[in-house]
Each structure stands twice: as C-alpha cells, then as structure tokens.
Amino acid sequence: MNHLSLKWELLFICILLVTLPTVLMGMVGYYAYQSFAKQTLESQLHKHSQEVRSQAYDFIAQNERVLRREEALVLKRIKSVAQLSKSIFQTYPAQMKPTYGDTTLHSALQTLSQFRLNRSGHIFLLDENFNPVINNQLLPSLTNPTLYANLISHIKKEMPYILSGQTTIIKHPWSTNPNGIIYRQTALTYLDNWQMVLGVTINETDYKSHDFEVGLQNELRDRLASERIGKSGYIWVFNGQGEYIVSKDNLRNGENMLNIIDQHGHSIVEHLISSAKSAPPGGSEIIFYEWQDLGESSASPRAAAVTYVAEWDWFIGTNINLIEFYSGLREVRNKILHLCVVFILIGSLIAYYFAKRITTPIKHLEHLAVKAAQGDFNVQADPKLASRHTEINSLSNVFSEMICNIRQLMAQKEKSTQLLAARNTALQASEDKLTKALLELEYEKQKFHTQAITDSLTNLLNRRGFSKEGKKVWKRHQRTNEPLTIAMIDIDYFKRINDRYSHSIGDDVLIQLAKLLTNHMRENDIVARIGGEEFSMIISQPLCEAKKGLERLRRLVENTPIISDKHEIFFTISIGAIEVNPQLPSLESALDAADTCLYAAKRSGRNKIIT
C-alpha cells in the first residue's frame, strides 16, 4: 500500500512537472509573440510617422529654400543701398551735418528720408547719441519703446565692426501682430565725415511669401488624407487649437475636436497633443486611445505614433484600429492552447510509465539512508536493483565514504581556520600600507594638477586653468542663460617699466595687479593671467553692472603705486569688456571680442574701458 502511494505521489509530481512547464511555455510563447507583435506594430507606426514627418520637412525645406533665396537677394539689395548712400553722404562737407531735431534738412536729405524700399524699407541716420536725424519721426513711431531700445542695443554691439569700415546686417524685432513678432533686417554702415550711423532697414514680411507656404501645406494635406495604414488605419493632423488639419478622406477638416473626451472626462485631442510634444526631438511617441470615426456606431480602441512639426504647428498621428490587431492575437492564443493540451496528455502517459519504474529503487534507497542515519556505513545495494539503476547503486556505495570524509574535513577545517586568521592579519597590514601609499599618490596628483593650472608668479589661474574653468562657466551660462561679462586687462607701457626699472620690479607690478584683481573679484568670478602683462576675467554680471566694478578697479590701479626697491611706481591698465550674447558661439569667440575692445582701448589712448 505504501509502495502504491509513493508511486502515485511520484506520478502526480511528474504530471505536475509536465503541466507547469507546458502551460508556462505556452504563456511565455503567447506573451512573447504578443510583445513581438506589439513591438512590430509600434515599429511600423513609428516608421510611418517618421516618413510623414520627413515628407512635411521636405515641404518645409522647399519653402525655406525659396525664402533663403528671396532673403539673400533682399539683404544684398539693402547692403548695396547702404553702401551707395554712404558714398553719397561722404561727398557732403562737415558743415552740412544734420542734427537731432533739425526741421530744415537739405533737399537731398529730405529726398532720402522719403525713400522707400518695397513696402516698409527706408533709410535712417543716427547721431553720436543714437538719436534719429533722418526719419526721426518714422523710426521710433512704428514700434514701442522697448523694441526701439532693442534696435539701438543691437547697433551698439556692432559699433566696433561699423567703425572699422564694414557694412554689417542685423536682424531685430520691430513690431507685433496677431501672428507674432515682425522682424526687420537692417544694413548698417558708418559716415566718418559726420560721425553718424547710416541704416537701411526693411521688414521680413516684405519678401516672405505666406501664399507659397499655404500651397505647399495643401499639397501635403491631400497626400496624407488619401494614405491608408493596414485595412482601416489612416493619418490625421491637428493644430495647436485642436482643429483638424487632415482627417480621414478630408471629411472633417477644420472641425475642432477638443470637446471629444474619454471615459475619465479628459480631452482626447489634448492628450494626443501633449504626447506629441513630449516625444524626443525628431521622434514620435506611441499612444493608445479610443476614437469614433464618421459612420461608426461606437468608439474603437486605436494606437497611433504621434509627432510634432513645430514650424507649422502640426500634430501628426499615424493610427490603426486595434480590433484588427487583437483578432489576430486571439487566433494565435487558441492554437497555443490546443498544443498545450496535446503536450500535457502525452507527458502524463510518459510520466506514469517512468513513475512505475522509479518507485522500487527509490524505496531501496530509502532503506539505505535509514541505516546510514543509524550509523551503519557498511550498506550495500541490492544487486538486482543496482544492475538496473547504476546511479542509485553508486549513491549508496559512496554514502559511507561521505561520512568518513566529513570527519576528516572537520579536522582540516579547524587547522584551516587558524591558518586563515594568520593570513588575514598579514593581509590587513598590507592593506594599510597600500592605503597610505594611495593617499600619498593622491596628494602628489593634486599638487601636480594645481601647478599645471596656476601661474607661478601671481598664483592666479594660467591660460590652461582659465580655459578649463571658463568652459565650465560657459556651459552653466548656456543652461541657465545667466548674464556673463568677459573682460581683457592689459598693463599700459609695461615694457617701459621693465626697461626702466628691471624685470624683477616688473614682476612686482604683476604681483600687485594680481592682488588687486583677486581682492576686487567676487566669489563666482574667474580671474587669470593668460600671458605676459595680460589678464582675463569672467564676471557673472550684466555688462552694465560689471563695467562699474571694472571702472572702480581701473581707478584703484591708477591711484595705487608700487613701492619696490625705493621706487614709487604708478601704472595704469586698459580694459576691453563684452557681454556674452547668442552671436558669440564659444568662449574663444567671446575672448576675441573682448580682446578687440581691449585693442580699441589701447588705440584710443589707454587707461580706459572700451565695451
């Protein structure tokens, strides 16, 4: 009776071991196929979405090519007009220079003040205080004070290039309308005889063709409306207000769908729009939702890959009906279920056969185990059973040997424990020595690093250290857009100091200036000696505030003599400073711009600040 019980228990276990893996494999296979099918579906939706996005950007690129060609022609034209006007004004004597508020302009100036380029283009003159002389009514009256001040700010930034004789072009906001900000392109040059800025300006709206862009959009909409994905999938496009730009067969174009809500009371279109905006740049996002098309009795589950084309404010979705997808999965699930039933039946028959054969040797092994537990290690397997099941016979033969080996292992364990303790003590001592050596190595490493980025004479950052720290500040500025001022400082006539007094006194001058710069700088500022008598500063302030501090520094240097070797030496510095702006793509370009201002300060008499 006990033998039969063991057999049936083993049979139950075998059937269970067959059933569980079979069911598990069936479930894993189904869900693996489901996951694969879902991934394939999403991949196809992503692919369709990227193709549609590429089509949109092909049309946008076509529009941009036309605009760039038109813009290049207009910029060339206003630059040519500026240069021609400059040539005319340069022929006038200084006595004919107009002044701000003068109502009796020369006839030629009156003619130029009435000149029009396209619909909005005109010519203006600004005096040395940037007050409008020609078009002094037109220039400030077409915009608000903030945008006019922005124009003057752009002109001031271009002054170093304009003063050098160049004709430059700037782009700046000018006015607003319901579609957003209207920008202007302005060509700037400088009249040396009158010391005035001459500008030729025109609105971008004069040459940007909105009708051409609308035509391109309509052509693309017709393509998308007729395209199909699978049996019932299609492409839709919404704008930011929730209005249909492209609908299935163009049946709902222009209809606002923001009032369509899901079972939770949320707007489906708002969810589609927010998902498209959250997609990675240039990519798409998969969403699942329910939607009811015209002619359908109820909403059906759908999946779509959504992407955003910001240039047109288009939210594009490539969608399919999930009912088709789920029906295919149900067929696969039924086939897997039938296979699982067949495998379980076959496995159960095989399990019964092997359970019957295994029961007898297991009982014999149980008898040997009882004897071994009682201390009888002289056990031997039944020769008949051993001849059928060699594994069980081997197990019974090695059982007694295992007991003896266990006793020997216990003795060896005690000996090994003592040896391990001694080795652990030696290992700890070696570890302490290694830790001490690593600390000393780290100290030397820090010491060499400091020497590599520090100027040995002034203890300021050298050029290498300034570049390293400056790039960190530059990256932080790009993330936070915090104001940043770059200053270049140079000691005036430093060679004369070296020649007259000695190079050692010249070194004292450098050390004194380094102390003044260090004491004058704030905690977040960076100051460095980047070569000879030239220093650089990065100030975390707008230029207007930083300039005040730099002026105080200039006066302090001017009034602080160097007492060295019984000589009282006065010296001055020249400073060039600029505020970082989007036109400066890198720290190196900002340093070059500040160096240009420093050169202007040197050239205009030294001991001053040029910004």
Closest among 23, 32, 9 to 343, alpha carbons compared = 23
Are the CB atoms for 124 and 155 separated by under 8 Å? Answer: no
Are the CB atoms for 334 and 312 separated by under 8 Å? Answer: no
Distance between CA atoms of residues 527 and 462, nearest Å = 9
Q: Hey, what amino acid is at 18?
A: V
Q: Hey, what amino acid is at 25?
A: M
Rounded to 5 degrees, φ, ψ at 3 are: -60, -45
Distance between CA atoms of residues 85 and 67, nearest Å = 27
- What are the residues facing 573 on neighbouring strands? 491
Half-sphere exposure of 126 (CA within 13 A, CB side): 21
- List residues with catalytic annotation: 533
Q: Quick one: 208 exposed, middle or buried, by C-beta within 10 A (0-12, 13-18, 19+)? A: middle
Q: Are strands 526-531 and 196-203 parallel, antiparallel or unpaired?
A: unpaired
Q: Hey, what amino acid is at 374?
A: Q
Are the CB atoms for 267 and 261 separated by under 8 Å? Answer: yes
Q: At what angle do helices 543-558 and 503-520 cross, to 10 degrees?
A: 140
Closest among 41, 37, 52, 55 to 304, alpha carbons compared = 41
Torsion sign (Cα): 311, 312, 313, 314? negative
What is the radius of gyration, based on Cα positions, of the chain? 43
Are the CB atoms for 576 and 535 separated by under 8 Å? Answer: no
